[in-house]
Structure 1
Amino acid sequence: MSRGDGLWRSVAVAVAVALPRRRGAARSRREWSACYAPHTSMFFDQHGVVRACCQNTEVPLGDVRTQSLEEIWTSAAAERLRSSLEAGDYGAGCEFCGWEVERLGAKLLFARGFDHLRPDERRPAFPTHWELALTNTCNLQCTMCDGDLSSAIRAQREHRPPLPEVYGDAFFEQLEAFLPHVRHVKLLGGEPFLGRAPLRLLDRLCELDAPPEVTITTNGTIWNARVERIVSVLRPRLNVSIDGATPDTFAEIRVGADLDGVLANLDRFEGHVGRSRVSMAICLMRANVHEFADLLELAERRQIYAGVNVLRFPESASLYTLEVEELERTVALLRARRPVLTSSRQRVWSGQLAALEHHLATGSGAR
């Protein structure tokens, strides 16, 4: 597993879910797989590797450098993963969700984020959901990131050569056959509003008479005429990464960005697509847990959704590798706060606190 693979495992948008399915557990008639990602989704990483989702780094479906998109979608690896999940088995590279079940007490589970994509047939001819991290091009050096996901870190912190570009003309030519079937395109990884390949894809989507639903995870630092056109034409959902409620904490974590500038662009995003299509993405970690309530209150004042990413790596930044005594202090700190929250913001607060309480109660903290 490469360093970048480890980092893809480090975060997952946390959503409230019902109890997960285990091997051999009963399912309702409507639920026929533990996760629907491999039945509907293709995740393209910055190296050209294709997976079912960003968290399954152990069982790739294929590689665009050596296979066509059709070959990848119908590959034996894809079939094995689909069959495993239909049997309720998370063991075929889906260990991240297994970790969530063990450590978070099944309150939060990444796999449930794909439930709305459940197809009408078990082996659809085309994916309907794309997740694309086509490049590591990024202008920030966030403390929890590395050079496989940020070109700035790769050049300035690690002094490694640039990643080769793998998504060229051949890839975009193949996409044309898939475009009529895709319903949702999600762009993430690096900074999509800077990378050559993601911008090329966004420009192509702007040309369609009926473009799919688009979601873009952005660091919120880029606003120019091209971005304004993309946002105006596609009206994407925009997830803006905000990891500090104060300028100092924000700058400490998101090196190269400033909070006031990102909030100004958040205003611009809201002005173009509407408040309901803009959200905050919070990477909850040791360096900002003391501002977690403040971050949610920021979202509350703006009346926007705030999602929380569960950080696993680097372990030195994760709440889930704290020594027991420090974990106790962290839980006590959160319990002492009484943020004034409503709707989804309150559920996010309660869910994250409950997950840490479960982690503490089960003795899972570092010894």
Structure 2
Amino acid sequence: MANLTSLKVKNARPGTYGDGKGLYLRVKPSGSRSWILRVQHQGRRQDIGLGSVDDVSLAEARDSASRLRRIARLGDDAIAERDRGKIRIVTFQEAADLAYTELGKGWSEKTALQFRSSLDLHVVPLLGRKRVGDIETAQILAALGPIWTAKPQIARKVRHRILQVLAFAKSHGWRTAPLPELADLSRGLAKQPKSKGYSAVPFPELPGFYAAERVKDASPARLALMFTILTAARSGEVRKATWNQIDLKAREWRRAASIMKSGEPHVVMLSQHAVDVLKLARVRFSDEGLIFPSFHGKMLADMSLSKMMKLAGRSETVHGFRSSFRDWAAEKMPHVPAMVPEMALAHSVGTAVEKAYLRSDLKVLRMQLMSDWGAFVTSASPKTTSANRAGKNQTIVAAKERGLK
């Protein structure tokens, strides 16, 4: 049975005090306090220093002593193990930094930065100086509580990242306790509000919306919005799109991994309607660099497409057009295999086994689907009041197109 308490450690006078199982507190006449572990190695006694009381708590000293005793019982040199750094007292912040350095090698730059910044903001101020081996469910709940209902999506990601750090620490021997159970973490927090996702224009309303936008001024942001709708792409991918990614002859938009959320390259099959938008952009702006540059020649701002939605009197999000596309495919194209629209959206499809056997990118099926989608989106006629303006714009564009050939 342990003999020492935190109070005894604090008030002990010069001398040596046993805690049991070979662990001792040594207090020097100067007042300095340190931990000593006595073990047998190859028939001889070894005194192993475990650090100062100022740096190592009683609980931490007991944990280190327990692990070193196991090493000694196996016949290994516990001192050598300690000196090689295999037995370490690591704080949560240190473990998080080390996890970021090692695990981040396999992450995208964005994922790595989000991992570090979210922990630094929401966890490190409360748990950063605590020993990673001592962190329990209650302490994790305390860190998650302030953001659990206010920022539910971020909170779930932070919870996952905390467990990643603890698992990383356990794999390196800095933690011996089991990881907290997700069920226990859920029971200790309020029920989160139901996620509403991205609000989307109902697909039956989309042709009317598109027809109204088509006759307005063809600004960079508006053309980018139209292209976003026709390709069911993410707005960030459209804003970053450049002409060297486009093959008009093959009707393909070849996106590099660097602009993709998944970190994987992806090809969008372009309907003729999407190609028409590209040709209009080429006439109005340039056929080099960004396809939809701002009026200053730089990439459009993040909110520029959202502004088009507000000007149109809509409250839905630009990202929601991806949901509109998926709903349309499910309801109006039931004969098309589900993986085709999923691949069109650049989603990962199939199990690991299915992916191993699926070598086709289904370009033919995706081209037909995107052509059908383009035909649906553009199926409504512009309002009569705008018909003359639209016809004039089309005549000007056609004339300029002939001049480019």
Q: TM-score, normalised by structure 1?
A: 0.23
As a proportion of its length, which structure holds more helix?
2
Q: TM-score, normalised by structure 2?
A: 0.21
Greater Cα radius of gyration, structure 1 or 2: 2
